Amino acid sequence: MDRQGGGLQVTAYSPATSGRESVPPPRARLWRRIGAIIERGFTRITSGVIAPYQSAVIRIGFSLTWLALLLREWVHRNQLYGADSPWSWTMAREWNATNHGFTILLWHDGRLWFEIVYLAAIAASVMLLLGWRTRTASLLFMIGVLALQNRNPFVGNGGDNVIHIMAIYMVFTRCGQVWSLDARRSADGRDGGRDGGRDVVGIVMWAFFTAVLTLVTGLGKLSTGWALLLWGFVFAQMAWWLVRSYAPGEPRTVMGMVGNVVHAGAMLVIAVQVCLIYSSSGWYKIQGSLWQDGTAIYYALHLGNVTPWPALSHAVASSSLIVLLLSYGTVIVEVAFPFTLFNSRVRTVMVAIMMSMHLGIGILLGLPFFTMAMIAADSLFLPTAVLRWLSDRMARAVQWTRAVVPTPVVAQEQTEPVRRA
């Protein structure tokens, strides 16, 4: 409004010239926010390996559990999976023909072949535990787990089922980024890249695996699905080696992004699988009358074949309050576990409770390998800060041990000439 010559002149301003931007409708703001979240998530997934410490801890946990089981059952291996097993080779072959289970032990009925496979399973577990050639080790680990468990599926427990499933998922993860010999070799520049020289060991392993796979494929030992999976692994390894050696620019970046996406998907599937294990177990317990009455733990502690410490089990079962709290508490934490993962503090507390529960199961019910497998699965949800803190503590303990333990002194030869009288 301007004053000119004693009068008033009104000037109108349109919204387009007022300097104010039009406010988008709520639906447009919502879609814009969703798009920004998706873009940030995609950038986070493709720019690097997510949860490298979590993937490393489950690699170490499951491989250590399977290795301990194989070594523990070394003296009973033939009775469990070999020629002396009540579940004979013919029965296993007929059984696997119906459920299409994969096991290389059914390729040949011989004691020597069984011993080779059993020793190879131990070697693959050690390779994966140390993180040496992690991609190949994870595949060999899966083959070893499936070979023995599908040979006799009636001698396992819930922990064996968890290892069975996770062994397949870990093939698609990049679980050797930290706490592995591969990570140390990569840091030293000896990973076979363009500037790291030729990876002779990797080339030899790839050639040997390709030759063996060609032989078994030609003999018709593999089904179509498993042939596609194994040959896909071989070609993926070959493509990754070629890109790293001869195209370290944009092609390597794209290959790395694809690997990160596959890794993220596999880690998500593993997390969902753990949640399904707990939720299904909890909801299944709710349907049982003993769990509804709060007395299920009492009867579990009186099973003679799974109570290695009868006095301790009976002492716990003698308290009605403890039995009631343990029975109801088990159901509550298993059902609530998937819903507590959205808050980091609550998730950490819940993971500690689940680990303590499985530790009690291992002690009271004599299921150490089940306990180790479930604790390894629970470790997936530990915060990175906790895992790095534990790693630093272990490193300090190792350094302290080296400092305390005296180093043997080797007597040096006398270099001065001996004087003669």
pLDDT reading at 278 higher than 50: yes
Range among 231-240, 265-274, 335-344 with highest mean pLDDT value = 265-274
Q: Which residues contact 105 (CB under 8 A, 6 or more apart)?
A: 81, 89, 92, 113, 114, 117, 147, 148, 150, 151
Structure tokens belonging to residue 100: 């299409």
Predicted confidence (pLDDT) at residue 415 exceeds the cutoff of 60: no
Q: Is the pLDDT of residue 5 over 80?
A: no
Q: Which residue has the higher pLDDT, 408 or 418?
A: 408
Mean pLDDT comparison of 3-12, 42-51, 144-153, 240-249, highest-scoring range: 144-153
Please tell me the number of Cα atoms within 13 Å of 340 on its side-chain side: 20
Lowest mean pLDDT among 21-30, 89-98, 219-228, 289-298: 21-30
Q: Is the pLDDT of residue 272 over 90?
A: yes
Note the pLDDT of residue 413. 46
What does the pLDDT average to over 360-373?
A: 94
Residue 421 confidence (pLDDT): 40
Coil, helix or strand for 4?
strand
Which carries the bigger pLDDT value, residue 409 or residue 239?
Answer: 239
Question: 36 and 162 in contact (C-beta within 8 Å)?
Answer: no
**Is residue 146 within 8 Å of residue 167, measured between CB atoms?**
yes
- Counting residues of the chain whose pLDDT is more than 70, the rounded percentage is 89
Instruction: Please give the DSSP secondary-structure letter assigned to residue 176.
Output: T
Q: What confidence score (pLDDT) does residue 412 get?
A: 47
Query: 8: which strand partners?
Result: 3
| DSSP letters spanning 250-273 | HHHHHHHHHHHHHHHHHHHHHHHH
Residue 321 has pLDDT above 90, yes or no: yes
| pTM of the predicted model as reported, rounded to 2 decimal places | 0.86
What does the pLDDT read at residue 394?
A: 83
